[in-house]
Amino acid sequence: MSLYSSDESESLSGAFGESKHKLKFLDLVLLVVGGVVGGGAFSLPQNCSAEAGPAAILFAWGMSGFGIFSLAMVFNTLSRRKPEIECGIIGYAFDGFGENTAFVTAAGYWLCSLLGNCTFCVLAFSSLGYMLPVFGNGTNLVSLIGSSVLIWLYHFLILRGVKQVALLGNLLTVLKLVPLAFFCFHGGH
């Protein structure tokens, strides 16, 4: 049972510019490192240590790591058992539990993406507000317009293909790591 008919599936894969080339190992590693650095993993110990001790923090990290690893293994198993499903988490929900569950999954994924993008944009433009006062705290009209432009640019980049997105992600990850390496070797002096 497929989420789309064969005609719809072919038109969808053509619309999204499906590529036969996969990402290289280094691209995947930089994608994960960029997500960790961008997710604030380096500021997390400072924030957690104000409220919890080292044992609690290590336990929380261990549980989080176990949860992420378990989720990765679930999707690995699903992709091996059901290679014909190409719609990701929504396709698995449809295949296993039906149309209503697939809809709720899609709505939840959409809502999480929306909130994540909004949070990222407010954080990015409030950070820019320290250097460029026109952005203020990231919630004014100029920041809203800048956020919209940023999201649309990223959208059009994604439409060009996964290779271009990976290249941009690699560049941004290197740009995140350079200041960290600088402070590691120079101690912030």
Whether the pTM exceeds 0.75: the reply is no
Residue 15 CB contacts under 8 Å (≥ 6 apart), including other chains: none
Residue 54 is predicted with a pLDDT of 79
What Rg value do the Cα atoms of the chain yield, rounded? 20
Q: Are 78 and 92 in contact (CB under 8 A)?
A: yes
Residue 33 is predicted with a pLDDT of 76
pLDDT > 90: what percent of the chain? 23
Task: Evaluate if residue 173 carries a pLDDT over 80.
Answer: yes
- Residues 24-57 as b or e (16 or more Cβ within 10 Å = b): eeebeebbebbeebeeeeeeeeeeeeeeeeeeeb
Question: What is the spatial distance between Cα 134 and Cα 115, in angstroms, rounded to a whole number?
Answer: 24
Q: Are 166 and 27 in contact (CB under 8 A)?
A: yes
Q: Binning pLDDT at 50, 70 and 90, where does residue 177 land? A: confident
Residue 61 is predicted with a pLDDT of 79
For range 166-183, the mean pLDDT: 81
